[in-house]
Each structure stands twice: as C-alpha cells, then as structure tokens.
Amino acid sequence: MRTAWNFHSAGQLVFGRGAVRQLGSLLGRRKLSRVFIVTDPRLVTAGLAERVLQPLGAAGITCQVFSGGEPEPAVNVAVAATAEAREYRPDCVLGLGGGSNMDLAKIVAVLIAHCGEPASYFGFDNVPGPVLPIICVPTTAGTGSEVSHAAVLTDTVNHTKVSTLSQYLRPALAIVDPALTDGCPRQVTADSGIDALTHAIEAYTAIDFEQLDAPDGAPVAYEGRYPLGECLAEKAISLIGQHLVAAVKDGSNQAARDGMALAATTAGLAFSNCAVALVHALEYPLGGAVHVSHGAGNGLLLPFVMRYNLPVRKAALARIAALLGESIADLNENEAAEKSIAAVERIRAAIGIPQRLRDLGVKREQLPSFAEKAFAIKRLMGTNPRQPRQADLLQILEAAF
C-alpha cells in the first residue's frame, strides 16, 4: 500500500503560439551555446528546422543539425545520431519533431553523458545520473514526450518497441508552439492525436496509486491514478473531444491546433506520472511486427481495452463519456460507461484510424506471440486496473482481430 504520490514534469514548459521565437533567449539564460538538433528530412523540407535555427542563430548560438530521424526510430538511428553528436561536443540536445525525434534526442543525451549502448538503459531507472540538458520542441500534438520521462525506440531484431524510462529523461525545457503543428499532415494529426487520447484515458482509468504493487517511497515508472493526474487527464480528454476531429478535418483551424497542442502536453503530464497500461503494452509488439504508427495501433486497440477494464472502471468511463460530449443524463452507470467506448469508436472512425488488426495485415497466428510479449512488460500489467492473465490479453487481441 503506497501512501504518497509524486509528480514530475519538464524543468520549464513554455506554451504558446510563436513561443519558439523565444528559444535563443531561453537557451542564453541557461548559458547553453552549442546545440545538437535532432530532426528528420521531412521537417527540414517543411521549413520547421529553420523556425528553430533562426532564433538560435540570432542569439549567436552555434548549432549542428542531425536530420537522419525517422518515424518510430530504430535503435541504430540513435547510435548514428550519437556518433555525430560525440564529434560535435554539444552542451545540450534539442529534439525537434514528433515523439520519434524527441525520443532520439533523449537517447543521444543519455549516451553522450554515460556512454554505452541504447540497450544498456532500456527499462525503468537504468540511467545512472543526469544527462545532457534536453530541449524538446514538438511538431505533432500527440506523444507528450516534451514533458515525459520516456524514450521509445524500435528493436528491429526482436520486432518490438523498447522504452527507456528515467526521471533524468524529463526535458530541461519544453517549448510547445502550436503553430509548429499547423502544417502537420492529416494522418499524422489523427494518429498522434489519438495517442494523446490513449494517454489520457489510460492515466484516468489506471490502478489507484494506493494499490500499486511497490513499496512506499520506492521510485516507480508509473505511480497509478491520483488526483492531480486525474485533473490533467480530464482536461486533456475534454480538449480532445472538442478539437481532434476538427484538427484532422481542417489542419488550418488554429483553435483546433491550439486545443490539441494543449491536450497532448496535458495528457503527457498525466500519463508520464500516473500510467499507461494495456493499450500501450499491446501496441509494442504490434508496432514492432507490422507497419503501423504508434498512435494508430493504440487507437485501434483502445476501445477493446476499455471494454476489458469496464467492469472495474464504470464511474471513470462514464465520466469520460461525458467529457467526450456524450449525453449520459438518463443512463445508469453501466450504460454511461458503455457510451465512452462508443465515443472513442466514433472519433476513431471520423479520423480514419484502422478498426481491426487484420486490416493491418496481422495474421491470427501472430496474436499469441503479441500476448506473450505484452504480458512480459510487467510495469504495464501492474498499472492496469484489472490484473490480466496472458490469456486475457489474447482474448482482447482476438476481439480486435
């Protein structure tokens, strides 16, 4: 039984349209003058690297750009980025992009400070001490990596996602400028947006922090559900209910972009303290085996996991239904909870997230290995409000097939 909870965030969070223009003065105040920027070719072409380079150059700050990032980056991309960074000798690492580039930047910051290989730090709390200062500038509204303690890579040998979790991975500085998401492509907007919804719902329906199976005071990857996290998750869910479909349908809708940027960061604060759980556990082997983005995989699985958790999370799911704009006034708790699943299915369909695993090319024979790999991620089993057996995971996957 745990009696106290913890809350962690980025060291400083600057939020607002145009905020990226403050980058030079923000780094100057921290006496940072040699920045290794981790980004990818699409963002260079889209002119977003320039939006960061301009204020840094104007402040006399020296930069080197690594533009070899890729979606859901493989471990060897982190190794390549680190080799370049090591030659350059930066005093900080800036991740510009979606979760993929921000996570790469985090791993570079670890490897520059502590040497070794990415795999030396996989899992929770294996980073031995402070890392190079991490600066995150998101260009998607989704992962919340700009405030989180996580970095996810793809293990292309074992066909699964691998995460490194450490409080040392919280960025020193996060600059969330919704204008950087204005040109985000429709499908990336949809996929990353439903990832944010998954973060908020998994945090909001997680095991209660008192029930987490860990000694009081011991550092844990996730704390379980507690009141501050609930506030953040509620805010994120209602913002996503208001803005996600609009942002996908019309990318030039600035109010929708602003709302989603706030939702993603808020959901990031919620999940990276409270929890993600079965949806993310099941997505790791799925995303490693077939070509699907993290967000689309999560969005596909989310309603099936909500249904599994429904018997023990009726009140929370009923509240989620209301936050997503469903009318629940005349319904009993069970009916209202069911409405949350319908609401997620409605959003999922409206933004074009695949509905079934078979639509992704998954073969039924692969499901037992997905269940086995997911079940092995103990920290994500322990944060779910219902403690699953491996057979339960297989049943969820069968339902989603």
Ligand X SMILES: NC(=O)c1ccc[n+]([C@@H]2O[C@H](COP(=O)([O-])OP(=O)(O)OC[C@H]3O[C@@H](n4cnc5c(N)ncnc54)[C@H](O)[C@@H]3O)[C@@H](O)[C@H]2O)c1
**Selected range binding ligand X among 6-14, 79-87, 143-151, 352-360, rule: CB under 6 A:** 143-151
Cα within 13 Å of Cα(156), Cβ side: 8
The verdict on 263 binding ligand X (CB under 6 A) reads no
Helices of type H across 150-275: 186-204, 227-249, 254-271
Q: Which residue, 56 or 281, is less far from Fe ion as judged by CB? A: 281
Q: Are 146 and 199 in contact (CB under 8 A)?
A: no
273 binds, among Fe ion, ligand X, none (CB under 5 to 8 A by kind): none
Give the contacts of 157 (CB within 8 A, at least 6 positions apart): none
User: Looking up tokens 């009923």, which residue turns up?
Assistant: 318
Instruction: Name the region of 116 (left: φ>0; alpha: ψ -120 to 50; beta: rest).
Output: left
User: What is the distance between the alpha carbons of residues 268 and 151, in angstroms, rounded to a whole number?
Assistant: 13
202 binds, among Fe ion, ligand X, none (CB under 5 to 8 A by kind): none
The verdict on 99 binding ligand X (CB under 6 A) reads yes
Query: Residue 356 burial by CB count (10 A; 0-12/13-18/19+): exposed, middle or buried?
Result: exposed
Smallest distance from Fe ion to CB 1, Å:
29
Among 28, 55, 71, 354, the residue binding ligand X under the rule CB under 6 A is 71
Q: Cα dist. 183→23, 45, 163, 247 in Å?
A: 20, 12, 28, 11
Q: Which residue, 140 or 242, is less far from ligand X as judged by CB? A: 140
Q: Where in 72-91 is the site for ligand X (CB under 6 A)?
A: 72
The verdict on 388 binding ligand X (CB under 6 A) reads no
144 binds, among Fe ion, ligand X, none (CB under 5 to 8 A by kind): ligand X
Query: Residue 137 burial by CB count (10 A; 0-12/13-18/19+): exposed, middle or buried?
Result: buried
Q: Are 110 and 121 in contact (CB under 8 A)?
A: yes
Smallest distance from ligand X to CB 241, Å:
19
Smallest distance from ligand X to CB 145, Å:
3
User: What is the distance between the alpha carbons of residues 347 and 324, in angstroms, rounded to a whole number?
Assistant: 9
Write out the DSSP string of 1-19. Answer: ----------SEEEESTTG
Q: What is the DSSP letter of 158?
A: T
Smallest distance from ligand X to CB 68, Å:
12
User: What is the distance between the alpha carbons of residues 296 and 273, in angstroms, rounded to a whole number?
Assistant: 23
The verdict on 46 binding ligand X (CB under 6 A) reads yes
Q: Which residue, 2 or 161, is less far from ligand X as judged by CB? A: 161
User: What is the distance between the alpha carbons of residues 355 and 373, in angstroms, rounded to a whole number?
Assistant: 22
The helix/strand/coil state of 300 is: helix
Binding mask 100-129 for ligand X (x = CB under 6 A): xx-x--------------------------
Among 27, 109, 134, 150, the residue binding ligand X under the rule CB under 6 A is 150
The verdict on 223 binding ligand X (CB under 6 A) reads no
Summarize as ranges the residues that interact with Fe ion (CB under 5 A). Answer: 195
Angle (CA) 105 258 304, round 5°: 75
Smallest distance from ligand X to CB 314, Å:
27
Binding mask 271-310 for ligand X (x = CB under 6 A): -----------------------xx---------------
The verdict on 170 binding ligand X (CB under 6 A) reads no
The tokens of 82 are what? 């680190």
Q: Are 394 and 367 in contact (CB under 8 A)?
A: yes
Smallest distance from ligand X to CB 182, Å:
7
**Selected range binding ligand X among 112-120, 179-187, 351-359, 371-379, rule: CB under 6 A:** 179-187
Q: Where in 16-45 is the site for ligand X (CB under 6 A)?
A: 40, 42-43
Q: Which residue, 9 or 140, is less far from Fe ion as judged by CB? A: 140
Smallest distance from Fe ion to CB 252, Å:
26
105: closest CA among 174, 206, 50, 177? 174
**Selected range binding ligand X among 60-68, 142-150, 334-342, 381-389, rule: CB under 6 A:** 142-150
Smallest distance from Fe ion to CB 143, Å:
6
In the complex, the residues that contact ligand X under the rule CB under 6 A are 40, 42-43, 46, 71-72, 97-101, 103, 139-140, 142-145, 148, 150-152, 161, 180-181, 183-185, 188, 191-192, 195, 294-295
